[in-house]
Amino acid sequence: MKYDLEKAQWKSSNRKCLMVIKSLIIESIRGAIPASETATKYLKKVESQFVGSSKAYAQILIQRLVNDKYTGGGIREHILKMSNMASKPRPMEMELPNAFIVHLVLASLPREFEAFVVNYNISPEKWDLEKLIAMCVQEEERLKASHGDTLNHVMHNKRKGFHDKNARPQGKPQWNRGSSSKPPVKDPKKDQ
């Protein structure tokens, strides 16, 4: 008798769970999933409909990791973002060695860090991510101090080459002392 009572309660709970699950799924998806006797089996069928390819996901992660470039906003955050991306293929048995991640980070740095990268490459010492972060932050601070507290990164320069007569010169605009943004007013008496 106790068994029959527990079985009836289980059936009622299972039916309610199925109703709640189905009510939370969009009708177009719900119609594509075959009916099941239990909520557990139904959820497994839902899961099987949405299984993605781990190989494709790993490929996308690695492409992002290889193509990622530092565009400003803090070198520490950039390195941590790349380290996070590098750790995602780990559950798929595709762990990337730390030395490889260090080289990917160094390859993602802009031209301002060229001397820093050369110094790392000629040094016999190999860094882990913590040492890389510390050294990159130090180099970023040095670069900021030498460039007046700003680092400008030009990703896509859409200016035309110097061969174009209408091209504007690159670099900071040059202003003459005492000049204003308004064109000079001609004196009509001097023109006569």
pLDDT of residue 191: 52
Task: Give the mean pLDDT of 38-44.
Answer: 91
Query: Nearest Cα to 155, choosing from 49, 69, 43?
Result: 69
Please report which residue ranges of the chain form alpha helices under DSSP H. Answer: 2-24, 27-32, 39-49, 54-67, 75-87, 98-107, 114-122, 129-146, 188-191
Task: Give the mean pLDDT of 69-96.
Answer: 87
pLDDT of residue 71: 87
CA distance 42 to 23: 13
Share the mean pLDDT of the chain. 79
Q: What is the pLDDT of residues 130-180, one digit of tens each?
A: 999 999 999 999 988 887 755 554 444 445 444 544 555 555 444 444 444
Total-model pTM: 0.52
Share of the chain above pLDDT 70, in %: 75
b/e string for 6-21 if b means 16 or more Cβ within 10 A?
eeeeeeeebeeebeee
Residue type, 114: E
Q: What is the pLDDT of residues 1-36, one digit of tens each?
A: 888 899 999 999 999 999 999 998 888 788 888 888
Residue 51 has pLDDT above 60, yes or no: yes
**DSSP 8-state code for residue 166:** T
| Cα Rg, the chain, nearest whole Å | 31
The CB density around residue 151, as the number of other CB atoms within 10 Å, is 16
